[in-house]
A = this chain, B = another copy of it.
Amino acid sequence: MSEVGVRPHFRRVALIGIGLIGSSLARVIRRDGLADHIAVSARTQHTLDIATRLGLADSTSLDARKVVEGADLVVLSVPLGAYGSIASVIGSGVKPGAIVTDVGSVKECVIADVGPHLPEGVHLVPGHPVAGTEHSGPEAGFAELFAGRYCILTPPPGTDPTAIETVTALWRQAGMIVETMSAQHHDRVLAITSHLPHLIAYTIVGTATDLEEQLKSEVIRYSAGGFRDFTRIAASDPVMWRDVFLNNRDAVLEMLGRFTEDLAALQRAIRWGEGDGLQEKFTRTREIRRGILEVKQA
C-alpha cells in the first residue's frame, strides 16, 4: 500500500462490456488520461450509443474481435456466463504481449474459460474490483466507485510479473488497494462475504414477494425495520448474479451449508426459549462489525 504509484498508460484499451463496472473504469481511464484510445464492444448497439454519448468510447463495435485488434489491454466486464464464447471469438485476435484482464466476481472459472483461448504471449491477469452498487448499465457508473475499496488479482502461477504490475497500477490509479491471492482462495472468501449475502437477500425478498397481497403492501411500507437493506442487495443485476452462483457453485454450497446449520440452531433456541444462548450469539456478532469499522470498509 505504501509503494509509489506508477501511472500506467495504454495505446489502445478494449473494453468488452460497458455496464456499471466497465463504464466506471472507462471514466477513470478518461479522467486520468490512461489510454490514447478506448474501443468498446457491447451486446447491443443501444448500449454502444450510450457509451459514445457519455464520451467513454473512441470507437465501438458489436464485434468484440474487431475491438481487441491492436489493443494492449483487454478488459472483460460482462456476466461470467459469456466469458467462454467471447474468449473463443476474440482469443486468436489478441496481439502477443497484450494483457487480458476481467472484473468478474468468481475467478477460478475465468482461468478455465478464458485461458485456453488465448495465444502464446498474451498475459491473462484475472481481477476482481470488490465494489459496486445495485444499479446496472453504462449510465450507473462513476469514476469514484473504486476509491478506497479492495481489488483482488488472481494471476495463475507463472504469470509475467510485469503484466501483474501493470494491472495493479491500473486499479491503484482507480483508488483501489490491490491484493493478490489464488483464484481458489478468492472464490471461497467471496462466497461468504458476497455471494451468500446476495443469495440470502434474494431469498428473503422473494419470500416476502410470495406473501398474500395485503401483507405484501405492508412489507413495503414497514421495510425500515431491516428489510430494506436486503431489498437493496436483492435489486442487483439478475444475470450477473445467476452466473456468479453457477460459476462458484461448490464454495457457495459449502458456505450455505454452514449457514443453514447455524440458522437451524438459532431456530431451535427460539422455539425452546433459550434466551441466554440467543443473547450470547447476538453479542459475538457485534465484534465483527467493530473489525470492519476498524479497517474502514463500512
Q: Which 10 A/B pairs are nearest by Cβ-Cβ distance?
A: A194-B225, A238-B282, A197-B226, A235-B289, A205-B285, A234-B285, A193-B227, A231-B289, A220-B291, A242-B279
Contacting B at CB under 8 A, from A147-163, are: 149-150, 152
| Candidates B207, B267, B281, B291; contact of A206 at CB < 8 Å | B281
Q: Determine whether A53 belongs to the interface, using a CB cutoff of 8 Å to chain B.
A: no
Q: A208-B192, A210-B258, A281-B202 are in contact. Are A288 and B225 (CB under 8 A)?
A: no
Contacting B at CB under 8 A, from A194-243, are: 194-211, 215-236, 238-239, 241-243
Interface of A is mostly: helix
Distance between A203 CB and nearest chain B CB, rounded to angstroms: 5
Contact with B along A276-292 (1 / 0, CB 8 A): 00110111111111111
Q: Is the CB of A223 within 8 A of B193?
A: yes
Q: Determine whether A112 belongs to the interface, using a CB cutoff of 8 Å to chain B.
A: no
Which residues of B have CB within 8 Å of A252?
270
Distance between A133 CB and nearest chain B CB, rounded to angstroms: 11
Q: Is the CB of B224 within 8 A of A245?
A: no
Q: Determine whether A35 belongs to the interface, using a CB cutoff of 8 Å to chain B.
A: no
Task: State in angstroms the CA–CA spacing of A198 and B204 once bound together.
Answer: 11
Task: State in angstroms the CA–CA spacing of A242 and B192 once bound together.
Answer: 25
Interface residues on A, range: 35 or more
Q: Is the CB of B220 within 8 A of A295?
A: yes
Which residues of B have CB within 8 Å of A216?
288
Q: A208-B288, A271-B249 are in contact. Are A282 and B197 (CB under 8 A)?
A: no
| Candidates B190, B221, B235, B239; contact of A150 at CB < 8 Å | B221
| Candidates B81, B192, B295; contact of A207 at CB < 8 Å | B192
Contact with B along A241-262 (1 / 0, CB 8 A): 1110110010011011011101
Task: State in angstroms the CA–CA spacing of A206 and B269 once bound together.
Answer: 15
Q: Determine whether A297 belongs to the interface, using a CB cutoff of 8 Å to chain B.
A: yes
Q: Which of A198, A207, A228, A239 has the most CB of B within 10 A?
A: A207
Q: Is the CB of B225 within 8 A of A130?
A: yes
Task: State in angstroms the CA–CA spacing of A259 and B266 once bound together.
Answer: 14
- In the complex, besides A201-B285, A202-B282, A245-B270, 9 extra interface pairs with C-beta distance below 8 angstroms are A190-B225, A202-B285, A203-B263, A205-B289, A219-B288, A220-B292, A229-B230, A229-B232, A249-B273
